[in-house]
A = this chain, B = another copy of it.
Amino acid sequence: MKTRLLEIRQGVLSKNDRLAQSLRQQFHKAGTLVINLVSSPGTGKTAFLERTLTEMAPHYRVAALVGDLATENDAKRLSRSGAPVRQIVTDGMCHLEAEMVAAHLADWDLAELDFLFIENVGNLVCPSGYDLGEDLRAVLLSVTEGEDKPLKYPPMFNSADVALITKIDLAEVVEFDREAAYANLRAVRPNVTIFETSAKSGAGLDAWIDWLAAQRKMRTAS
């Protein structure tokens, strides 16, 4: 029984992988850098993305897709940035799949986008196995949720290209242990790029956006 379930799951996954690969080719051809944001619920993904979109919008062509189990609240919040935003409601599924991304992109002209952000469903397990065709997977870790999360959820942290420590403005009041957080992130993903950020104060946002711009330059040049 266990084997049979596993086989079917692999079938589902490889269909997703094929579609993700075709999305990735479209993104590259269009020159769009795509970032998949993953994290536990409550790390502040939406606040962080809203601030990122707001600061990038005057300088770059940015857009976002945002996944949630049941509500459209996040798309409404993100739309305040002025960037085009679409909600993907997963009806209870705990991750996005490449097919949902493809369906919600259908009438957007990728050639008119420099950056596309995909805010995944808040979950530290399910999204890790689903490639969405992104260039970069960014995992968010808030100072309030405990420095041990990378060790407890290795597949998610191991599959990330960049780690964004969020709510850094609260570091002191929650006695955030910076050294432990860095050590745990690097234990599961050596050499991972780390930014310390705050959507409230704006700390770290410039460095993050400059890094994204550099990543885009590198990818489109190659």
Residues of B within 8 A of A42 (CB): 40, 42-43, 142, 144-146, 149
Residues of B within 8 A of A1 (CB): 8, 11-12
Copies of this chain, complex-wide, total 2
- What residues of chain A have their CB less than 8 Å away from a CB belonging to chain B? 1, 4-5, 8-9, 11-12, 40-44, 68-71, 73, 92, 94, 121-126, 142, 144-146, 148-149, 151-155, 167, 170, 173-174
Checking B71, B122, B146 against A124 with a beta-carbon cut-off of 8 angstroms, the contacting residue is B122
- Assess the A125–B126 pair: CB atoms within 8 A: yes
Given A144-B170, A155-B92, A69:B123 Cβ within 8 A: no
Q: How close is A61's CB to chain B, nearest CB, in angstroms?
A: 29
A-B contact pairs, 8 of them (CB 8 A): A41-B124, A41-B146, A42-B42, A70-B152, A94-B125, A123-B123, A123-B125, A126-B126
Q: A4-B8, A142-B144, A144-B167 are in contact. List 18 more A-B contacts (CB 8 A).
A: A1-B12, A5-B5, A5-B12, A40-B122, A41-B152, A42-B42, A42-B142, A42-B146, A42-B149, A69-B153, A70-B152, A73-B151, A92-B155, A94-B123, A126-B126, A144-B144, A144-B145, A170-B173
Residues of B within 8 A of A123 (CB): 94, 123-125
Q: How close is A140's CB to chain B, nearest CB, in angstroms?
A: 11
Residues of B within 8 A of A40 (CB): 40-42, 122
Checking B4, B41, B126 against A94 with a beta-carbon cut-off of 8 angstroms, the contacting residue is B126
- CA separation between A16 and B5, bound complex, in Å? 16
Residues of B within 8 A of A153 (CB): 41, 69-70
- Assess the B69–A125 pair: CB atoms within 8 A: yes
Chain B residue nearest to A154 in the complex (CB) = B70
Checking B11, B71, B126, B142 against A148 with a beta-carbon cut-off of 8 angstroms, the contacting residue is B71
Q: How close is A41's CB to chain B, nearest CB, in angstroms?
A: 4
Q: How close is A215's CB to chain B, nearest CB, in angstroms?
A: 27
Chain B residue nearest to A169 in the complex (CB) = B173
- CA separation between A149 and B121, bound complex, in Å? 12
